[in-house]
């Protein structure tokens, strides 16, 4: 029939696997095109999710049914399932660009993503107080790596993203101007305004010769790479098991909204480039309004019931 079965067999044997594609994806594409936080998430998706399920499959052999089964395997964690599918789809697009698959053959197309419930968790006053006591305790006892405690406190006081604090260098800290001047972040170059608590904390962090990072790691000259383990220890002692590190940023925004600050100002503090990103906190503005309505309503009810005498102005005392 005009075909060469031996050549087809040899081509199939020479085809790369999904695991080999993932390695090239992480080595060649990700370092050039992705920020550190994105690179970290891509690596986790490839190494922990994609490779164990699909790593041995040859790139040309991957079909939509395989991808559908892969996506379905993580149905109990829809956010994780969708992110892994997105990473796999990107890898398949690159496989076409690199000539490893036919053009337009991405098997991730038409796979329906799971619905994701947007989770917003904010620490209230009592929870913040409880967290503060635990941070004091672990700092005094040394049961948690001191730079990790400093990182958690900085996240609380600044509302910064995790990678912005972990990768912070002393050259980016301008205490005189009260700023963190970040040359790069998720949204590009960025300034973070320091409040008094953050400034005092930064002044208390020791500087180690030969290490330019504010949050030093255990290895000489390195920054702290992962805050998850110390955070789990802290939140367990504070009875805040459902609180993620990113919820500290949400709590910063919640406190700002509750203090009556306009969303445009809050967006500036958080480094949002799109007003729609800050708008997700708009509903929190109802809380101070609800408290004000309750206060006014209570006074009006007291007046109608004839109990307004306590609210009357006290007579002015004359003389000593």
Read off the pLDDT of each residue in 69-73 and give the average, rounded to a whole number.
Answer: 96
* 319 band by pLDDT with thresholds 50, 70 and 90: very low
User: Once rounded to an integer, what is the mean pLDDT over residues 113-119?
Assistant: 82
CA–CA gap between residue 264 and residue 62 (Å, rounded): 47
When pLDDT is averaged across residues 131-140 and rounded to a whole number, the result is 94
Residue 174 has pLDDT above 80, yes or no: yes
Which of 165-174, 236-245, 267-276 is predicted with the least confidence, judged by mean pLDDT?
267-276
Please state, in angstroms and rounded to a whole number, the distance separating the CA atoms of residues 296 and 312.
15
**Across 141-165, average pLDDT:** 92
User: What pTM does this model have?
Assistant: 0.66
pLDDT > 90: what percent of the chain?
53
- Which residues on neighbouring strands pair with residue 182, listed in sequence order? 190
In the structure, what pLDDT confidence band is assigned to residue 288 with cuts at 50, 70 and 90?
A: low
Least confident of 6-15, 68-77, 139-148, 302-311: 6-15
Average pLDDT, the chain: 85
Least confident of 73-87, 154-168, 287-301: 287-301
Query: What is d(CA 314, CA 187) in angstroms, rounded to the nearest whole number?
Result: 55
Cβ atoms of 68 and 80 within 8 Å: the answer is no
Residue 248 has pLDDT above 60, yes or no: yes
Using alpha carbons, select from 107, 113, 57 the residue that is nearest to residue 83: 113
Angstrom distance (rounded) from CA 32 to CA 245:
27
Q: What is the rounded average pLDDT of the residues 80-104?
A: 95
| Angle (CA) 61 66 69, round 5° | 170
Q: What is the pLDDT of residue 318?
A: 45
* Predicted local distance difference test score (pLDDT) of residue 320: 41
When pLDDT is cut at 50, 70 and 90, the band that residue 292 belongs to is: confident
For the domain covering 13-97, report its CATH number. Answer: 1.10.150
Whether pLDDT at 126 is above 60? yes
Q: Where are the domains positioned within the chain?
A: 13-97, 125-283
pLDDT confidence tier of residue 316, bands split at 50, 70 and 90? very low
d(CA 282, CA 259): 13
Q: Is pLDDT at 287 greater than 70 in this prediction?
A: no
- Segment among 24-28, 40-44, 56-60, 81-85 with least mean pLDDT: 40-44
> Is pLDDT at 218 greater than 80 in this prediction?
yes
Residue 250 pLDDT: 87
What CA–CA distance (Å, rounded) separates 220 from 211?
7
Instruction: State the Cα–Cα distance between residues 22 and 43, nearest whole angstrom.
Output: 9
Q: 125-283: which CATH number, 1.10.10.60, 3.40.50.2300, 1.10.443.10, 1.20.1070.10?
A: 1.10.443.10
Q: Which residues pair with 178 in a beta bridge?
A: none
Q: Among 50, 45, 62, 69, which Cα is nearest to 105's?
A: 62
More confident residue, 119 or 163: 163
Residues 38-67 have pLDDT tens digits of: 888 899 999 999 999 999 999 999 999 999
Question: Per-residue pLDDT averaged across 211-237, rounded?
Answer: 91
């Amino acid at each position: 029939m005009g075909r060469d079965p031996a050549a087809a067999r040899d081509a199939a044997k020479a085809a790369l696997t999904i695991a080999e594609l993932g390695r090239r994806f992480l080595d060649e594409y990700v370092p050039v095109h992705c920020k550190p936080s994105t690179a970290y998430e891509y690596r986790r998706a490839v190494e922990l999710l994609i490779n164990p399920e699909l790593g041995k499959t040859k790139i040309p052999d991957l079909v939509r049914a395989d991808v559908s089964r892969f996506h379905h395997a993580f149905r109990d964690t829809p956010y994780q399932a969708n992110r892994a599918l997105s990473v796999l789809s990107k890898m398949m697009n690159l496989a076409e660009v690199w000539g490893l698959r036919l053009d337009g053959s991405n098997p991730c197309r038409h796979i329906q993503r799971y619905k994701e419930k947007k989770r917003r968790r904010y620490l209230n006053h009592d929870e913040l107080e409880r967290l503060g006591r635990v941070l004091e305790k672990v700092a005094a006892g040394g049961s948690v790596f001191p730079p990790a405690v400093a990182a958690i406190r900085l996240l609380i006081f600044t509302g910064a993203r995790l990678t912005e604090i972990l990768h912070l260098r002393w050259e980016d800290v301008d205490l005189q101007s009260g700023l963190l001047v970040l040359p790069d972040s998720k949204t590009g170059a960025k300034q973070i305004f320091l409040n008094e608590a953050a400034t005092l904390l930064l002044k208390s962090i020791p500087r180690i010769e030969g290490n330019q990072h504010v949050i030093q790691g255990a290895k000489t000259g390195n920054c702290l790479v992962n805050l998850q383990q110390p955070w789990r220890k802290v939140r367990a002692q504070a009875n805040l098991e459902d609180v993620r590190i990113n919820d500290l940023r949400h709590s910063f925004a919640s406190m700002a909204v509750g203090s009556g600050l306009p969303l445009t100002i809050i967006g500036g503090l958080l480094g949002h480039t799109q007003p729609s990103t800050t708008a997700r906190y708009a509903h929190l503005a109802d809380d101070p309004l609800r408290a004000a309505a309750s206060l006014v309503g209570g006074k009006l009810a007291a007046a109608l019931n004839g109990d307004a005498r306590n609210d009357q102005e006290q007579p002015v005392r004359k003389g000593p």
